[in-house]
Structure 1
């Protein structure tokens, strides 16, 4: 048997090698395109809804001043509510520090947006609400015990507040600070 001549019948005596094919350049197809007839292809006659136009910065203005003013009002209202609750119970209710932080953080985040100074301000306002609420609670408690006027008790409330502090109260101040900071960041609406 003799080997065939290369080129006469198209076969040579060498083993076949792998053939490499190149793919044609992909056509400009939008992302998410599914060819008709493939699973996930839209039904004939279905027109997708147009994409919403992205919210532009000039359409939604930051209302930082309004946010801070609303947060200060929320801080004072929260301090009044907390002080009344402390006076009614006769002790501290430190776990309400989370509610005070949420009451301050919500308007800061929703109205102020993602400002860099708003989360630290939310932390300070939440701790301030807790402090004012505890002072008000001390003043109301002294008023009910002694029966004197509120104006005379305001000077006595701060030394009594200092003397009445425990380790757990400082933990609640930490909760108010951290809660005010994190909740302001989480409720911040993108601008």
Structure 2
């Protein structure tokens, strides 16, 4: 009895021999298919559309509100700094870091991570320090008789004349503190 050849009426009884391909055979799997148990295989019973609605998208950023709050903090901090009742000549300059923190907190917490907000925090912290020094000079000059150019001109002239080299260190502290504290407050979210 002989075995029928494949393709004829019956199946061959001989064991099938290995097939050799010069190229990989085309699989009957859809594109992107990952075999079960392999890394990247979908978990059975997991519906991403259901779980996406439950997962929060992250904290909301309110950049305009952060800038408005930082401007208000700069104004209030600068005026409070300049109107301090017991202002000594150089001892209150070290409060530049407090002014930087006062400005940086709303920027970082409300504005979140941004490349622009730390730079804005540095500028606003230095502005708060300058506003405080101007307010203190204005307070001193207001009691005296204003000159012929007016109170604002006299305030600016006396402020520029009264600047010391140590004031540059205070402005540096305010700039660096405003930048770093804004970044720090933003990463704490």
TM bracket (short chain): 0.5 to 0.7
Structure 1 contact 111–189 (Cα < 8 Å) conserved: no
TM-score by length of 2: 0.65
Report the counterpart of residue 128 of structure 1 in structure 2. 127
**CA separation of 1:134/1:169 partners in 2, compared to 1, >3 Å: closer, same or farther?**
same
State the distance in 2 between where 1:134 and 1:117 align: 26
RMSD: 2.4
TM-score by length of 1: 0.65
* DSSP-derived class of the 2:186 partner: coil
* Structure 1 match to 2:97: 98
Q: How many residues align?
A: 136
Alpha-carbon offset, residue 189 of structure 1: 4.7
The range that moved more, 129-138 or 90-99, is 90-99
SS of the equivalent of 2:89 reads coil
Contact 1:124/1:180 (<8 A) preserved: yes
Alpha-carbon distance change, 163 to 78 in structure 1, aligned in 2, over 3 angstroms = same
CA distance in 2, matches of 1:129, 1:106: 14
Q: Distance in 2 between matches of 1:152 and 1:89?
A: 25
Determine if contact 2:69/2:106 at 8 Å carries over to the other structure: yes
Structure 2 match to 1:14: none
**Counterpart of 1:23?**
none
Aligned twin of 2:139: 140
2: CA distance between counterparts of 1:75 and 1:170? 19
1:56 aligns with 2:54: no
2:158 to 157, 160, 181: 160
Select the residue among 173, 176, 183 that pairs with 1:175.
Answer: 173
1:1-191 to structure 2, matched below 5 A, reads 55-57=56-58, 60-85=59-84, 88-89=86-87, 91-92=89-90, 93-144=92-143, 146=144, 152-189=150-187
User: Gaps spanning 5+ residues in structure 1: where?
Assistant: 1-26, 29-52
